[in-house]
Amino acid sequence: MTTTTARPTAAPPPAVIWARRHLFRTPLDAALTVIFGALALYVAFRLARFVLVTARWDIIATNLKLLMVGNWDTVHLPRIAIALAVLTTLGGLIAGLIHARQVRRGTAVGMKLSPRRIGDLTRRFGLLVATVLLLLALTTTTGPWVMMAGVAVGGVLGRVVGGWLGRRRYRRSVAVAGVLAMALVPVALYRYLVDAVPLAEWEGFFFNITAAMAGIILCFPLGVLLALGRRSKLPLLRTMATVYIEIVRGSPLFVLLLLANVSLEFFVPPSIAPSKTVRAIVVFTIFTAAYLAEIVRGGLQSVPRGQEEAAKSLGLSPLTQMSRIVLPQALRNVIPAQIGQFISLFKDTTLAGLGLGILDMLTVSDAITQQPGFVGQRLIIETLTFTAFLFWVGSFTMSRESQRLERKLGVGTR
């Protein structure tokens, strides 16, 4: 390591002044700066050397398909590409519709590509795009390139069309039909995919992502219902919700997964017993719903009593009081905690590998180190680093989006 010392001049440059003020104010400060600075540099250096020089990334490149989608039949890979492109198109469409609606209501700025908006988009999607490019660089076939091109085109197209469609208002029946159609798209895609490869054979990172998405979508209504149940005036309902929440929160997720693996045959004849993938999703849903229920309960408590009283005094039905007044505010107030729970779920899907014997990404990344060309070379470090990196990208993006959502919904600016 080399250190540069400032030459004695009349007026030291601003950087030196800043360093003196923030890093070397007292002898203790100076000592801490040197020790932790050296440590940080050392770690950064070792990491950079590993990533750029010593690491054997060929194990990742060779097994990229296995890591991403497991043993998914290559013939059916285009189905994943099509599904992903359609899904991004749908996402873009929804984003465009929402934005257009905000513009119509005067609560959002226009859609022009200003430098500020480009900066914002880069911050939001830069990491994702960089990661995708990195993965593409590791591939040897053209398929993934075509797929990502489809995704990019679909996303932009959806966004533009959505912004255009959303400019005008629609009759209620048309709007309802539109929403229903959009809700049916993921269902149709699911049918399209399982038609080629049954759910039980979804593997690799694809399993982790789909299991997390299914868990998030399913646990949300269950968690909200449990939170409402726990606050219910009916003793039976309240007790049931409380018992559920406390039992599930008291059990380690890994134990629940193991139980789902071995104990289901006690209750269900093996012939109709659900597949391991379904079991994993059920356990994730049950588990996360219990935590979500407590988060939502906190949100419900954070809504002032006066809100419910005002809703009552207007003669709103109990259902409307809850669905239009109390719940929206409660959910908004706990967005960070909710997303945090979803991030946990995403990462915890890696437990399904060992817990249920599913070939998820973590299992693959362990298994490939035993391949003839790679065995006995301690390449597990490379594969685990790569796995951790992908999960970090996903988690970090979710956390970023949650902060953005929070800001957009104006939490704290009542």
Partner 1 sequence: MTDTDQPAFTDATRAGDPVIELEHVDKFFGTFQALKDINLKVGLQEVVVVIGPSGSGKSTMIRCINRLEEHDAGRIVVDGIELTADIRNIQEVRRETGMVFQQFNLFPHLSVMDNITLAPRQARRIPKKQAEQHAMELLERVQIPEQARKYPGQLSGGQQQRVAIARSLAMRPKVMLFDEPTSALDPEMIGEVLDVMKDLARGGMTMIVVTHEMGFAREVADRVVFMADAEIVEVGTPEHFFLDPQEARTKLFLSQIL
Asked if 413 interacts with partner 1 (CB under 8 A), we say yes
Question: Applying CB under 8 A, which of residues 320, 371, 377, 403 lies at the interface with partner 1?
Answer: 320
From 59-67, 92-100, 216-224, 321-329, give the range in contact with partner 1 by CB under 8 A.
321-329
Nearer to partner 1, 258 or 409 (CB): 409
In angstroms, give the least distance from the CB of 36 to partner 1.
43
Rounded to whole angstroms, how far apart are CA atoms 380 and 382? Answer: 5
| Contact map string, positions 167 to 206, toward partner 1, x by CB under 8 A | ----------------------------------------
Asked if 395 interacts with partner 1 (CB under 8 A), we say no
- CA angle at residue 75 from 69 to 80, to 5 degrees? 45
Q: Which of residues 323-382 bind partner 1 (CB under 8 A)?
A: 324-325, 328-329, 332
Question: Applying CB under 8 A, which of residues 310, 357, 375, 404 lies at the interface with partner 1?
Answer: 310
Nearer to partner 1, 7 or 172 (CB): 172
In angstroms, give the least distance from the CB of 402 to partner 1.
18
Nearer to partner 1, 184 or 314 (CB): 314
In angstroms, give the least distance from the CB of 320 to partner 1.
5
Count the site residues for partner 1 by CB under 8 A.
24
Nearer to partner 1, 357 or 410 (CB): 410
Positions in the binding site for partner 1 (CB under 8 A)? 105-106, 304, 306-307, 309-317, 320, 324-325, 328-329, 332, 409-410, 413-414
